[in-house]
Amino acid sequence: MIIVTHEMAFARQVADRIIFMADGIIQEEGKPEDVFTNPKSPRTKAFLDSML
């Protein structure tokens, strides 16, 4: 199942894999804990910093 959301708490709770896209390009993908605690992409980090 694919769910598109900006609700980060929900995504972190239900996902087994997170894909972060910007401008139609996958910026980052991985396990929720990895993406939320140690984002590799500066764009992912900036987005998460603004949302959390």
Which band of pLDDT confidence, cut at 50, 70 and 90, is reported for residue 11? very high
pLDDT of residue 45: 95
Residue with tokens 């087994």: 16
The domains of the chain are located at 8-51
Phi, psi (degrees; rounded to nearest 5) at 34: -65, -45
The vertex-28 CA angle with 27 and 32, nearest 5°, equals 145
Mean pLDDT of the chain: 93
Q: What are the Cα distances from residue 47, in Å, to 1, 9, 12, 16, 38?
A: 23, 14, 14, 20, 13
Residue 30's DSSP bridge partners are: 18
